[in-house]
Structure 1
Amino acid sequence: MTEHYLKEFKNYLENNHLSPDAIRNYLWSLKKYGERELNTNEIINFLKESLNKYQPSSLRNLRNGLKSFSRFQKIDIEWEITKKIIPTIQPKFFTTINQKELELLKQSPTKTSEEINNRNNLLLDFLFYTGLRINELVNIKHSDYCQGSLKIHGKGNKVRFIFIPDFLTKYFNGSSDYLFKTRKEKKLTTTQARMIIYRKTKKSGINKKISPHTFRRSFATLLNNKNVRLTTIQKLLGHSQINTTANYIHNSHEELYKDYSKVFW
């Protein structure tokens, strides 16, 4: 795949508001595909050749990247056939945190400035009590909040509205500025936000690998434990498919182990 095509495709993905991680994965797919002609048979051969090289998750990334590129090129591919090549596996158990662990994270300051520590703790609260994706979080502006709901520019340039707890509404001042900013008054980046979570986790002593997505899954699990309808959780998370939402809840290590432990009581 030539650099010219890669650049054009990258612009196409950015214009469709895909996340940096998705763009990186899709470009990786094209580089691996190489100079092959883009048609159903070639894609099938490519995926079959890749079976022994990559895990199913990477194979899905390859397929998704090529699928997106075929849309960009307006080439029809029989994607249902290619889907059958990739092995299906049970989703891995994922980690969640509870409200006590959230407080433990917040009690683990990583900066000497009280202002920055307060910002970092506010970031944790927003992730835990809204279930936002990290790129959605850093793009929140004060003006996105109005009368109890928050406008979110989500994946695929989709806009949704979510509710936020009363104790978070006081942080909005109505301006067009970003809610989360650096010490130099610039918008906080996703990389900086991830580093905040990493440092707080390390300092807290919590023996879990906690990422921004951990908070998103924790939010879904928290709502499910309070008997919130699955369709409501789906809308709040901005999922297109309800099965995605169900997987967030039903593969929580803590929830599954809690049910499993009942056998021994």
Structure 2
Amino acid sequence: MNWEELITLYNEYLFLEKGLSKNTQLAYIRDLKKIKYYFNKDNSITPNTINKENVQDFIYDYSKKSKSSKSQARLISSIKSFFKFLQLEDIRKDNPAELLESPKIGLYLPDTLEHDEVMKLIESIDLSTSEGERNRTIIETLYGCGLRVSELVNLKLSDLFFNENLIRVTGKGDKQRLVPISDWTIKYINIYINEIRLHQTINPKFKDILFLNRRGGQLTREMVFIIVKKLSRNAGINKNISPHTFRHSFATVLLKNGADLRSIQLMLGHESITTTEIYTHLDREQLREAIEKYHPFNINKDFKTDENKI
């Protein structure tokens, strides 16, 4: 079997067996097509015959073109996973990528927004237009619920349980979770539904999708990125803002106000609490305050050690 046939088979495996999201599947397949195109001119190198030296040559060549450690690490992960799949299917006896080492990736902490910066951004929105009302609701929902952009654009009317102050969110790998939603956010979603969305001509295919474009279709992830970038420029916020910034800010503000990591983990839909710890980083000032507030030497201010008893 050739590269194309086995990559297609692997893609089916990712969907049916691994349950990965569409975006994750696409990322894996994009990576595998890079190695396919690299060996396209040499018909003797197929997924069945490729050896570790061939793989190392490809990775070395790729590393010269890409300075991003993150993209290199993901590429290596994709290749390892692909050949592991070929082993499981008895197409190969070995994994030629098994000994590849991924580059070390430093901790990446994107910009966060303070609450007053979020409000400044919201206040910059032109609410005289229907798109303005929709965009305010998008920001309120991203910041109020900590959603990924893919979760936002796929949010449905049937996912809204406002009587219970909950929304149902479909996250990575089509895993669903219930996320609390405040009365404040509910208010703006209802305004959007009843005053904007109600008067749109909606494509029947998207009648249950909450956020629509001006043609009555589903908003794309790319469109939300454009909306957020434009609003941040209008508000004069000189930070690298994306839809994910609001998710990070949501987690950070909850932690600062006393929420525990486990609760934040469940709301964000993280499988591992280690991921949550990265999203909800503590700055030095918070650490200092935590020591002053909770360490017994600071709680018991009058405690004195008696050196004579030591």
Which whole-Å CA distance do the structure 1 matches of 2:94 and 2:246 have between them?
A: 37
The verdict on how the C-alpha distance between 1:238 and 1:182 changes in structure 2, with shifts beyond 3 A counting, is: same
Which whole-Å CA distance do the structure 1 matches of 2:273 and 2:58 have between them?
A: 28
Q: Is the 8 A contact 1:160 1:238 kept in 2?
A: yes
* 1:106 to partner: Cα distance: 1.2
Q: Which amino acid aligns with 1:158?
A: K
Q: Which amino acid aligns with 2:124?
A: S
Higher relative contact order (CA 8 A, sep 6+): 1
1:240 match: secondary structure:
coil
1:20-39 superposed matches below 5 A: 20=23, 22-34=24-36, 35-37=45-47
2:267 match: secondary structure:
helix
Q: Which amino acid aligns with 1:133?
A: R
* 1:87 to partner: Cα distance: 2.8
Structure 2 length-normalised TM: 0.70
Which whole-Å CA distance do the structure 2 matches of 1:244 and 1:44 have between them?
A: 30
Q: Which amino acid aligns with 1:190?
A: R
Q: Counterpart in 2 of 1:60?
A: 73
Which whole-Å CA distance do the structure 1 matches of 2:250 and 2:183 have between them?
A: 16
Q: Is the 8 A contact 1:141 1:177 kept in 2?
A: yes
Q: Which amino acid aligns with 1:181?
A: L
Question: How high is the sequence identity, in percent, across the aligned residues?
Answer: 30
The verdict on how the C-alpha distance between 1:248 and 1:5 changes in structure 2, with shifts beyond 3 A counting, is: same
Offset from partner CA, 1:51-82 (integer Å, 9 cap, x none)? 84343211221133234434654358779964
The verdict on how the C-alpha distance between 1:198 and 1:77 changes in structure 2, with shifts beyond 3 A counting, is: farther
| Structure 2 residues without counterparts, runs of 5 or longer | 37-44, 199-206, 290-310
| Structure 1 residues without counterparts, runs of 5 or longer | none
The verdict on how the C-alpha distance between 1:60 and 1:98 changes in structure 2, with shifts beyond 3 A counting, is: same
Which whole-Å CA distance do the structure 2 matches of 1:136 and 1:216 have between them?
A: 11
* 1:49 to partner: Cα distance: 2.9
Offset from partner CA, 1:114-141 (integer Å, 9 cap, x none)? 2211110110011111111101001111
Q: Is the 8 A contact 2:63 2:72 kept in 1?
A: no
Offset from partner CA, 1:178-231 (integer Å, 9 cap, x none)? 111112221111111111101101111100010111111111101110121111
Q: Counterpart in 1 of 2:180?
A: 163
Which whole-Å CA distance do the structure 1 matches of 2:95 and 2:9 have between them?
A: 24
Q: Which amino acid aligns with 1:107?
A: E
Q: Counterpart in 2 of 1:90?
A: 106
Query: Does 1:99 pair with 2:109?
Result: no
Q: Which amino acid aligns with 1:224?
A: L
2:167 match: secondary structure:
strand
Which whole-Å CA distance do the structure 1 matches of 2:151 and 2:94 have between them?
A: 32
Larger radius of gyration: 2
Q: Which amino acid aligns with 1:37?
A: P
2:210 match: secondary structure:
coil
Which whole-Å CA distance do the structure 1 matches of 2:256 and 2:51 have between them?
A: 44
Q: Counterpart in 2 of 1:151?
A: 168
Q: Which moved more, 1:206-215 or 1:68-77?
A: 68-77
1:102-117 superposed matches below 5 A: 102-109=118-125, 113-117=128-132
Q: Is the 8 A contact 1:19 1:135 kept in 2?
A: no
Q: Which moved more, 1:66-75 or 1:22-31?
A: 66-75
Q: Give RMSD over aligned pairs.
A: 3.4
Which whole-Å CA distance do the structure 2 matches of 1:121 and 1:100 have between them?
A: 15
